Copies of this chain bind each other. A is one copy, B any other.
Amino acid sequence: MKVARPAIVLLPPPPAFDVEAFLDRTGLGRTLVELKKNQVLFSQGDAADAVFYIQKGSIKLTIVSQRGKEATVALLNAGNFVGESCVAAAEHIRMVTATGLTRCTLMRIERLEMVRVLHEEHAFADLFVTFLLARNVRIQEDLVDQLFNSSEKRLARILLLLAQFGKEGKPETVVPKISQEVLAEMIGTTRSRVNFFMNRFRKLGFIKYSGGLGGLEVHSSLLNVVLHD
């Protein structure tokens, strides 16, 4: 597989509305989907007829170009929707591939059901719109990051975001080890480049490899890289 070029989108904080209880109550999320680590939920090109709500775990969205390069477009936490773009029009096709970054539990909501409930439940509709807007902002930030910053800064930014991503407990630590290859996919550069910067950051004490299982400590001083002129 060719080297990839992509960027990442880490998504918004959990909603202030108990979605799971709601989905449960309305029977909307009756269909539970379990996903193993690295298992594919749906692939680019598949027919799109359902939306998913992440109950547990995180999901990676990727896109493959014609030339076989792969880009990671977003990482989604629990509390986010996946495959939401099919809500707009029927007969849509998946534009991305969704893969479990970890083991996941998802609620599957059929498109038509989703539309119906969005009409009937204000709170749920609000939540969905809020999610869409947040996602919008995030993708736009990633785009701007690509436009303004060098790959070194992009890497630093992603590492900082990742450090917060798994913040259920220990701070300043990227929990699931992400390979340099994937990091390269996320910021849109090559692995050798990522490796180069990672070592640089390490020498400068901004990050530290800890624990044999690929733990990575991200020190907040890494912010210097992003903020520096």
Contact = CB atoms under 8 A, between A and B. Distances in A.
Interface of A: 5-7, 63, 65-67, 69, 71, 73, 84-85, 87-89, 95, 115, 118-119, 122, 125-126, 128-130, 132-137, 139-140, 142-144, 146-148, 188, 227, 229
A85 B133 contact: yes
A122 B125 CA distance: 11
Nearest to A141: B95
B88 A148 contact: no
B88 A144 contact: no
B137 A135 contact: no
A109 B134 CA distance: 20
Copies per complex? Answer: 2
Given A7-B143, A63-B144, 6 more contacts: A85-B133, A89-B130, A118-B129, A132-B136, A139-B143, A143-B143
A127 to B, nearest CB: 10
A125 B69 CA distance: 37
A84 B137 CA distance: 11
Which among A65, A130, A136 has the highest number of chain B CB atoms within 10 Å? A136
A122 B69 CA distance: 41
Contacts of A136: 85, 132, 135-136, 139
Nearest to A12: B88
